[in-house]
Structure 1
Amino acid sequence: MPYIPAAVSAGFRALSAVAPPLAVRLGARAFWRVGPPAPVRAADLAVHERATRGAVLVAGARVVTYRWGEPDAPAVLLAHGWQSRASRLAALVDALEGAGLAVVSFDGVAHGDSTGRHMSAVEHVAAIRAVQEVEGRFAGVVGHSIGGLAAGLALHDGLAADRYVAVAAQTGADALAETFLRLAGMPPALHDRFCEHVARTYPGNVPDLRSRVDLTAHPAPRHVPTLFVQDDDDRMTDPGDALRLHAAHPGSELLTTSGLGHNRVLDDPAVLDAVVAHVTAARTVTRR
């Protein structure tokens, strides 16, 4: 989700009142905008630098891949969120390696060190599938935010992974649009008009984008054990999305936290323990 300065939000709020069609058109342009690549955090640099790098092609973009751990260890795939990069999942890399697993990740299209001009859950799904073509079956797939959404959609489409974890994942395209409108200061009354315009003008030309990118309508297979993790103080993902995803995935587990927000949840020791436990099936994750 692009960063929206307060002044820009105020402008969208005013424009929505006097010229809703123009607000929708300009908002849709901003919705697809991927800003400058996020830098590697100092805390993540050591993990980032010791990765073995590779690359796959996704819709003409060169997507950089990363691998950690022993070559013959079962591998877990990590998918990062919007305006992020693989290195932001460094704490998960360390935790999973510590459990004897290998870890594979990638910088999404137009993110990190990868090339490209725009990204959505559709490109993230394509990147996940492209990485699997190189790596083979995964012991698990873990995604954050739009990465969690894309991982679930990829599983629905046939991704071979034994277990699934989604952290702060949205239910789909409509939920992403709802968050954008709120951050941009645009009224909920414009939601359907905005979503329809976004789907019609999406650069990737995906038919039925709104229905295609919907994890409640296209859930991960029931045979894949699933864990949803959501913080109650998340401003980027509606905490209600986790409840809706949990309901759409019978038998799934739901872990809720408080005070961590959208990103710090990725570094929380209790969350890391729960993710590792779920992926390794070492113990049963309990709700709290």
Structure 2
Amino acid sequence: MKTFHLDFAHPVPGSTPHQSIHRVSWQGAAVMGILNVTPDSFSDGGKHFQLEAVVDSARKMLERGALVLDVGGESTRPGADPVNAQEEIRRVVPAIEALQDLNVLISIDTMKPEVARAALLAGAHIVNDVNGLGDPEMIRVCAEHGAPAVIMHMQGEPRTMQKKPHYQDVVSEVKGFLFQQAEKALAAGVPSVMLDPGIGFGKTLEHNLNLIRHLSDLEPYGVLLGVSRKKMIDLIADVPEAKNRDAGSIAVHLFGIEQGAAMVRVHDVEGHLQALKVWTALKGQ
């Protein structure tokens, strides 16, 4: 079973000192729980729009085994309208502050450097950027705050990304972009990175399947895979309602872990942890 890690410039929950950095390590695949503090996310929009609900859901995810909680204040579903930075900060900062007593690793899911900065100052630890650190200022924010970054690939932008996705070679193009951004970030002082191929972000079903089958091409970096309740489950198994796609999500994530994924980003933490424990036992690990 592989060991993965994230490095931070400052102490964070669960870290151990490692020379001049602090390291969080895990074996096999870790689980990142999704906390969308938005009214319009495709699966759970509005569910966590009240702080009491945020803290309650976060506590349950932690009790069930999540390593990281990913807080997002702007929906990036296909066709979603953008949210300005002030509104996004208004949504995420109170949620992050409310989670401080839980002593948990918190990721801020944002494309905006000003939102990332506000979230890190409020107590977040990781920046999860669906824009793949495309804004140089985002790299500077991560470096200044000693925060690791999740670098995701997206073709286009959320409102139009699914209209006509096109690649000559999706695996090599996505890999090339992610490796280029990772090298920029590390050279600029970001302590560590994870790579996310961006399933469903400017990709057809065949593009998505091809990327998942070749996750090992993204080594030696740790890979974050996020397929939870996405449209590809419906396209494969005819499940129109997003809330009913957890079984298909678990199947894809287990396959992705077999290909080397270090972390999976999920809505159903309990179901994924149960499946992971059984799957790991069957493999004798």
Q: What is the TM-score of this pair, normalised by structure 1?
A: 0.37
Q: Which structure has the larger Rg? A: 1
Q: What is the TM-score of this pair, normalised by structure 2?
A: 0.37
